[in-house]
Every structure is written in C-alpha cells, then in structure tokens.
Amino acid sequence: MSPLSYQWRFDGTNLVDAGNLSGALTSTLTISNVQLTDQGAYSVIVTNTYGSVGSSNAMLTVLPGTSQTNSFLSGMLFTNGIFRMQLNGLSAHGPVVVYGSTNLIEWESIFTNPPTEGIMEFLDVYATNWPVRFYRVLER
C-alpha cells in the first residue's frame, strides 16, 4: 500500500546520503567506490501507513582488487639473503596474508599477520631458497 518510505541501515545504524553513498531513503541503495570499511550487514526498513517491516541482513564482502597502486607498497629491499617490503595504508579490517609464488600461477600462503592498521613490514628470510619469487598481499 502506497506511499512507501525506506530507511537503509548498515550494521544496525541508519544510513544517510553522504560521500560515496546515495539512496539511503529510497528503494535502491548505491555505494560507489566501495572500500573495505563498507563491508558489513545491510538491511532496509520499509514503512507505510499500516506499519513497517524490516528485511533480513544482506552481507557485503569486499575483496581487495588486483589493480592497487604502488602507494600500498613502499620500499622493497633485498640484502643479506632477506627480502624486505613495507606495506602502507592497512585498515585493520582483517588479517594480512602474504602469498609467494615462483610461477605466478601457484600461490602459497607464506605469512599471516593479525589485522594491522597503518604500516607493516614483511621479511622473507627464505627468499634465497628460490631462483625467483613473486609476492601477493591481501588484507582479508
């Protein structure tokens, strides 16, 4: 029965249109330029003259893209058989997992760090065991 009104919620808190979010009070919620901090439970409350009903939660999971710029990584150094790299801009949203590969096809988790905010340094003391070594880092 019309008219209907909508209130979108994120992790139980009412949303308002701001920044990368629009449609907090419409039937469609739009999030542009999704970030790790947008990950969580979304729901909507729909109201008309007879009352309101809420939806069950829909979970948004954000997976970091592979097109990140080098601003995430600053400083790589290979000295005394140890490969060292510094990761910047970590959000502490989830564990930091470093993967290693010798062929860019088969990836093995070689290091997992608890959620970290800001900067983290990674050292691979086994780097000399491989003729070539590639790295991939994901913040889960």
DSSP class per residue in 22-76: E-TTSSS-EE-S--GGG-EEEEEEEEETTEEEEPPPEEE--PPPS---GGGEEEE
Q: Which CATH superfamily includes the segment(s) 5-60? A: Immunoglobulins (2.60.40.10)
pTM value > 0.85? no
Specify the amino acid at residue 91: S
Residues of the chain with CATH 2.60.40.10: 5-60
pLDDT, tens digit only, all 140 positions of the chain: 678 898 988 888 898 887 778 888 888 888 877 777 888 888 888 899 988 887 767 777 776 554 444 456 666 767 777 888 888 888 888 899 999 888 888 889 999 999 888 889 988 888 878 777 888 888 87
Closest CA to 38 of 6, 18, 19, 10: 10
Q: What's the CATH fold of domain 70-139?
A: Immunoglobulin-like (2.60.40)
